[in-house]
């Protein structure tokens, strides 16, 4: 599916949340979804970066996005409920979520990581996606075809030394995705999947692999066909899967 060609405007009139929309994969996916006709709700903690994504989308003449600044490490369940209610009042619908925001500090042995590091990592990588999905379920249930995508990584698929709380939290998020996919079998209009993008020219890749020649890696845009596939109707019936872009 990495060579998937999305039908023109296959996300027209849909409303899609993207977390971590201020840079990297989140920014590229927000633009890609908007280019296919979607109204994108940009979530992230850096207002300036979200505004840059917003401006890019408007400059391209695409549907005007919405900005919801939010620090997922500090957000409460009530914050997510209020956001879902705001989406309903302003737009009246929700058709997809891309859980892309992630917390990562550095690669290190488990023996030197702290309980606080684990708590912070799980708040952004697991608890926030859980609370956001739960708050938005009533809206997603009203959609004809709703898609929820988690951005995973290789450390969640196979245990790798030194990935610590980040790798463990990403594995937990994938497990949660699979569990929720099973629980929502009675709602076939909602599907949940994870995408492991692999080595890309992303900001996080610079942190995890500082010795690489970044410019020689595939671009972030090369992963967009799979994101578009999972977010659109061509993936109806695909749920509970972890797909790899490379």
* Domain annotation covers residue 62: yes
Place of tokens 């898609």: 147
Rounded distance between C-alpha atoms, residue 225 and residue 246, angstroms: 12
Please name the residues in contact with 140: beta carbons below 8 A apart, sequence gap of 6 or more: 94, 95, 97, 146, 148, 190
Q: How confident is the model at residue 198 (pLDDT cuts 50, 70, 90)?
A: low
* Domain annotation covers residue 7: no
Whichever domain contains 196, its CATH number is: 3.40.50.720
Show the domain range for 103.
15-244
Q: By the 8 A CB rule, do 120 and 103 touch?
A: yes
* Domain annotation covers residue 60: yes
User: Can you give the pLDDT at residue 156?
Assistant: 57
Nearest to 106 by CA among 197, 204, 215: 204
Measured on CA atoms in the order 76, 81, 86, 92, is the torsion positive or negative?
positive
**pLDDT(184) > 80:** yes
Q: By the 8 A CB rule, do 179 and 240 touch?
A: no
* Domain annotation covers residue 165: yes
**pLDDT(135) > 50:** yes
* Domain annotation covers residue 6: no
User: Can you give the pLDDT at residue 165?
Assistant: 85
Q: How confident is the model at residue 155 (pLDDT cuts 50, 70, 90)?
A: low
Q: How confident is the model at residue 214 (pLDDT cuts 50, 70, 90)?
A: very low
* Domain annotation covers residue 175: yes
Looking at the structure of the chain, the number of domains it has is: 1
* Domain annotation covers residue 33: yes
For residues 105 and 201, the model is more confident at 105
- Chain-wide mean pLDDT for the chain? 89
* Domain annotation covers residue 8: no
């Amino acid at each position: 599916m990495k060579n998937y060609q999305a039908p023109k405007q296959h996300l027209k009139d849909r409303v899609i949340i993207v977390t971590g929309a201020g840079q990297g994969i989140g920014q590229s996916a927000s633009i890609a979804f908007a280019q296919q006709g979607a109204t994108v709700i940009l979530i992230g903690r850096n207002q300036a970066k979200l505004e840059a994504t917003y401006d890019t989308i408007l400059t391209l003449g695409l549907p005007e996005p919405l900005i919801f600044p939010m620090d997922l490490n500090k957000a409460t369940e009530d914050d997510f409920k209020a956001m879902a209610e705001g989406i309903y009042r302003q737009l009246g619908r929700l058709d997809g979520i891309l859980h892309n925001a992630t917390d990562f500090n550095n690669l290190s042995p488990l023996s030197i990581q702290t309980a606080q590091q684990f708590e912070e990592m799980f708040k952004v990588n697991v608890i926030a996606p859980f609370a956001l999905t739960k708050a938005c379920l009533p809206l997603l249930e009203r959609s004809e075809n709703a898609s929820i995508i988690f951005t995973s990584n290789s450390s969640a698929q196979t245990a790798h030394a030194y990935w610590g709380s980040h790798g463990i939290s990403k594995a937990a998020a994938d497990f949660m995705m699979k569990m929720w996919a099973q629980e929502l079998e009675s709602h076939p209009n909602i599907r949940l999947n994870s995408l492991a993008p692999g080595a890309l020219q992303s900001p996080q890749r610079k942190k995890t692999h500082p010795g690489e020649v970044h410019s020689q890696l595939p671009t972030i845009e090369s992963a967009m066909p799979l994101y578009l596939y999972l977010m659109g109707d061509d993936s109806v019936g695909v749920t509970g899967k972890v797909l790899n872009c490379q």
